[in-house]
Amino acid sequence: MSRTVRILIGALVSSALALPVVAAGQDFFRRFLPARMPAVQYDSHFAFTRIRYGTRVGGNGGWEHDYPTADKNFSAILDYITNMRVHLDGSNILDLEDPRIFENPVIYMSEPGYWTTDELEARNLRTYLLKGGFIIFDDFDGDAEWRNLVTQMKVVLPEHDFIRLDVTHPIFQSFYGLKSLNIPHPMLPGIEPVFLGLFDNNRQSGRMLAIANWNNDIGDYWEWSAEGLYGEASTADAYRLGVDLLVYEMTH
């Protein structure tokens, strides 16, 4: 990561929203309750859009992990590196049944290993994806969490199956041209990161509808990048990956 980018992230983090409330009993990385970023109105500029789930049955389920710092940091990098017009004044948190997801070409879900869907959410997400939308699943690991994502997406798109991707897929070559997908899980470096996609015609030649960053947590890299918690090389690769995903989906 260049010195300019590190300075940019550092300035962004230093001016982050105040996080005043200590959450007793939570782990180190969730010790504060984050203030909500302002919601943004649709105006054709890209807005980071995070999917909320589990609120009807109580609890957060993990959808808020790395919020709001990851959302802010990645938006700043996307704005700085590319020619995309990006909202830096806020982001979106939307439920899957919310019609406003159709105003956002890319949506992001953290910890889909704990997500459960219902008929209304599944129908709205199916329509969104088939109309041209794209969802990024991030921050989940292990067989049980993978099986849960597959189970939920079978409700959404029963005829579609995840297909494992390698670095030659155009989504990883859209801006940076990644040479490797070996971006280790920041907290579990011993597991193999895997990237899988859902496609329009169930073949890689079709339009990609979703990508799953399994055995990884790209959002965690974004959240802690200014602190250098996980090292420059892997953090820079996590940003490169994110930029590649966004550039590809905004141009396809």
8 is written with which tokens? Answer: 């940019």
Cis peptide preceding 186, ω within 30 of 0: no
* Residue 39: per-residue pLDDT: 87
CA-based nearest residue to 63, from 82, 50, 73: 50
Give the Cα separation of 111 and 107 in Å (integer): 13
Give the total number of structural domains in the chain: 1
Q: Is the pLDDT of residue 21 over 80?
A: no
**Per-residue CA distances from 54 to 29, 51, 213, 248 (Å):** 21, 10, 21, 30
* Residue 29: per-residue pLDDT: 37
Q: Is the pLDDT of residue 101 over 90?
A: yes
The whole domain housing 207 covers: 3-250
56 pLDDT band, cuts 50/70/90, is low
Q: Is the pLDDT of residue 9 over 60?
A: no
Q: Is the pLDDT of residue 88 over 90?
A: yes
- Cβ neighbour number for residue 240 with a 10 Å cutoff: 19
54 pLDDT band, cuts 50/70/90, is confident
Q: Is the pLDDT of residue 14 over 80?
A: no
CA-based nearest residue to 137, from 45, 216, 55: 216
* Residue 35: per-residue pLDDT: 65
Q: Is 189 exposed, middle or buried (0-12, 13-18, 19+ CB in 10 A)?
A: exposed
36 pLDDT band, cuts 50/70/90, is confident
DSSP state for residue 228 in the 8-state scheme: T
* Between residues 249 and 31, the one the model is more confident about: 249
Instruction: Please state the separation of Cα 99 from the chain's center in Å.
Output: 20
pLDDT tens by residue, 170-181: 999 999 999 999
* Between residues 86 and 12, the one the model is more confident about: 86
* Between residues 56 and 208, the one the model is more confident about: 208
For residue 204, the domain's CATH number is 3.40.50.12140
Length of the chain: 252
- Kindly write down the DSSP assignment for every residue of 131-199, as one continuous string: TT-EEEEEEE-HHHHHHHHHHHHHHH-TT---EE--TTSGGGSSSS--S------SS-TTSPPEEEEEE
Q: Is the pLDDT of residue 8 over 70?
A: no
pLDDT tens by residue, 197-252: 999 999 999 999 999 999 999 999 999 999 999 999 999 999 999 999 999 999 98
* Contact between 101 and 107 (Cβ < 8 Å): yes
Tell me the pTM.
0.86
Give the Cα separation of 245 and 24 in Å (integer): 36
Mean pLDDT of the chain: 87
